[in-house]
Structure 1
Amino acid sequence: MPRPALPARLRRLPAALLTLLLVPLPGCSGDKAPPSAGAPAHHTAEGFRNRDGSTIDKSQWEVWRWQLSRRDPPRPQPPLPVVAPDLQAPEPNITWIGHSTVLARLGGLAVLTDPQFSERASPVSWAGPKRVGTLPLTPAQLPHIDVVLVSHNHYDHLDEASVRALAAQPGGAPLFIVPLKLKAWFDDLGLAGLRVVELDWWQSHVERGVEFMLTPARHWSSRTPFDRQRTLWGGFAVLAPEFRLIYTGDTGYSRDFTDIRQHLAHRGSFDLALIPVGCYEPREFMRAQHVNPADAAQIHLDLGARRSVGVHWGTFEGLCDEPLDQAPRDLATARRLVGLADEAFTVLKHGETLRLQGAR
């Protein structure tokens, strides 16, 4: 006789235990300690906090209540489409690989955001958010990557196997540009000769004529229960001579994006913004750390971007509660409410390449 299926709550116990590693809890990081004399206000004695002075903490009870009461949303039917990338498209262009991993080709460089090519976004291979659908582009199929941008250290944005594969690419490892205090993680991988540049908010690095600036966001960092807020988080402005791109990184809604627009007004408008649109339910649980499509539409307006593409959706089940195909529908509603044309803020199919046109 077949064994009876475990009740749903028991099946979720591994995920609930794992979530304690991935969701911020109070009292773990000492992040409310004041910064040392002369340090920027977002620095603390042991790490970092958001520009408004906030840290994003959830109690253990909130985490357990969410995990053990949640219902798995249905998978999209039919499945979300996967298309073949166009790696011969002329610059500038982007290809959405999935979640927040985007291949951008501009300024003569191949740039990759938040490398995550693995089956799970997790510290273990047997549990945690699982990729749904076919990976449209493996590390071995990528063109030679020049620069990798890492917005923060969560497992759905920074994956060890993916980093090792990129470091071993033919022709030499790419440059990794990361927020403050994250270089030590790369050093611990033991990859000889790997170039890693750390940046604080508003700091820049120029690579072959393209400027990469770390921009602020409202989020947090952690890879274990013992390193909450120890490394910085953020987004990236990529300023090439003929094209301006911004990737916001994971974020809750904040004034950071009007400030970014003002800070870089002398450099011209952003031609393209990559803004997260998914993983926003349950709303009260996610609000401080993840925007929903309505917030994302407002960020598009705050940045003054000519065009935006939604990322951070449709790829890993188990990260949050909305169906994987919900974000595009909610984004369409958000566009109408703020009067945006459909083409002003779109989403792509997995693997889809979007040809772009700079204004300069």
Structure 2
Amino acid sequence: MKNPHYDPAKPHHTPDGFRNRYPHPHPGGDFWKWQRERRKSGLPKPPTLDLSCIAPNLTAVHQPPDVPQLTWIGHETLLLQIDGLNVLTDPVFSERASPLPFAGPRRHQPPGLSLKQLPHIDLVLISHNHYDHLDKASVRALMRQPGGAPMFFVPLGIDHWFARNVRGTRLSGDNPNVRAFDWDDEANFGPFTAHFCSVQHWSARGLYDRNQTLWGSWALLHPRLRFWFSGDLGYSQDTRDIGARFGHFDVAAIAVGAYEPRWFMKAQHIDPTEAVQVMQDIGARQAVGIHWGTFALTDEPLDQPIADLAAALKVADVPAERFALFKHGETRVWDAAAQRLVTALPKEKARPRDDSLAAQSLSGR
């Protein structure tokens, strides 16, 4: 398939897709070798720690305080709330991260907030097209949310996927609701300036579309908060470039899970030690771990990042509170004076939730 966005003046463009900005070695083996080895060893082992959701602070979510606020819904789905605007990253609310409803990685617990519990979403940031980041049923549900569709900021090529798969997509005209970004593109959205930044990764949704759409990370700058969302990434010069370009971030959401075995994962997923280095590269005052504890994608137990991140912070002599791991459904607010995220107001009394997403909100999958 030819790349409809191809620009021969840009080295990361190819006639049929995209490539990383900095060349890196191919993983030292193949996918099927990894699958055979993990089946033989019975991996991943189940977690030993309780990773279940806490009762969400719905009062804070629907009546946010006059400070920036962040809620971890699960995996790489975060709700960022500032000045009455609600931003969602890589929304995945389905039971499985898979093209099939009956196979593929299954959620270890329901989302920390269900689709019905979300406030009206204004902006959605998509990092790339893997199934644990771009979920058709979830974006379809958001496109038809009461009060009108959000704006979707997506990498190049995913705009065409939206046009084919998501009813209500508008790519042009007076009021588009999906906008495609190349690396280093930027756009304003209300008080935000969004920048799409390169990281080392790849894209595919099938056997024959590898790297036909772009991937990346997002810098979201607001007068009251400088926020970076890593998406998925292997460690590379890219994060040092981001730090040199932007100087610092107040809060960075950085992937910390899905990293074993290193011989296969190193080029595409950072481990906790590299995540701490990324935090330092980009100058993050506070980091939040994402891409862990939700879907069993690789060989380490779902709770292994907890111990490995704690050890990495100790070795790097970084205070543990600077790199937080939320509970699913947890909300914290930005304390600008202390330059860290702190627990939101006491959560309301827990009440039963309807988590039958596949039968209701996601029936259009």
Residue 182 of structure 1 corresponds to 158
The separation in 1 between residues aligned to 2:93 and 2:49, in whole angstroms, is 23
| Post-superposition offset of 1:69 | 3.2
Matched-pair contact (CA < 8 Å) for 1:107–1:210: no
Give the Cα separation in 2 of the matches to 1:283 and 1:59.
Answer: 13
Q: Quick one: which amino acid aligns to residue 71 of structure 1?
A: G
- Shift in Å at residue 342 of structure 1? 1.0
Whether the 8 Å contact between 2:194 and 2:218 is mirrored in structure 1 is yes
**Structure 2 unaligned residues grouped into runs of 5+:** 171-176, 340-365
- TM-score normalised according to structure 1 size: 0.85
Matched, 1:115 2:86: no
Conserved? CA contact 2:139–2:166, under 8 Å: no
CA contact 1:122–1:129 (8 Å) conserved in 2: yes
Structure 1, 270-279 or 71-80: larger mean CA deviation:
71-80
Matches within 5 A, 1:85-100: 85-86=56-57, 87=61, 88-90=63-65, 91-100=67-76
SS at match of 1:131: coil
- Once the two structures are TM-superposed, the CA of residue 67 in structure 1 deviates from its matched residue by 5.1
Where does residue 52 of structure 2 map in the other structure?
81
Q: Determine if the alignment matches structure 1 residue 255 to structure 2 residue 226.
A: no
Whole-angstrom distance in 2 between the partners of 1:186 and 1:346: 33
Equivalent in 281, 284, 300 of residue 260 of structure 2: 281
In 1, the alpha carbon distance for the partners of 2:261 and 2:88 equals 30
**Which among 149, 154, 169 is matched to residue 125 of structure 2?**
149
| Alpha-carbon displacement from aligned partner over 1:104-129 (angstroms, at most 9, x marks no partner) | 11243200000100100000011100
Deviations 1:168-216, CA, capped at 9 Å, x for gaps: 1110010000011110110012412541011111111111121111111
Contact 1:244–1:271 (CA under 8 A) maintained in structure 2? yes
Letter in 1 for 2:194: F
Report what 1:25 is aligned to: none
Matching of residues 2-81 of structure 1 within 5 Å: 37-38=8-9, 40-54=10-24, 59=30, 61-66=32-37, 68-81=39-52
Compute the displacement of 1:133 (Å). 1.7
Give the TM-score taking structure 2 as reference length. 0.84
1:279–1:320 CA contact under 8 A, matched in 2 = yes
CA drift of 1:321 comes to 0.7
Query: Runs of 5+ in structure 1 lacking a partner?
Result: 1-28
Report whether the alignment pairs 1:239 with 2:221.
Answer: yes
Secondary structure of 1:329's aligned partner: helix
Aligned-residue offset at 1:78: 4.7
Aligned to 2:189: 207
Root-mean-square deviation (CA, aligned residues, Å) is 2.1
Structure 1 residue 85: Cα displacement: 2.4
The answer (yes or no) to whether the contact 1:107–1:242 under 8 Å persists in 2 is: no
Distance 1:193 1:255 in 2: 35
Inter-partner Cα distance in structure 2 for 1:215 and 1:247: 10
**Alpha carbons 1:217, 1:234 under 8 Å: kept:** yes
- 8 Å CA contact retained: 1:181, 1:231: yes
Alignment of 1:151-166 (within 5 A): 151-166=127-142
Contact 1:107/1:240 (8 A) holds in 2: no
**Count of matched residue pairs:** 324
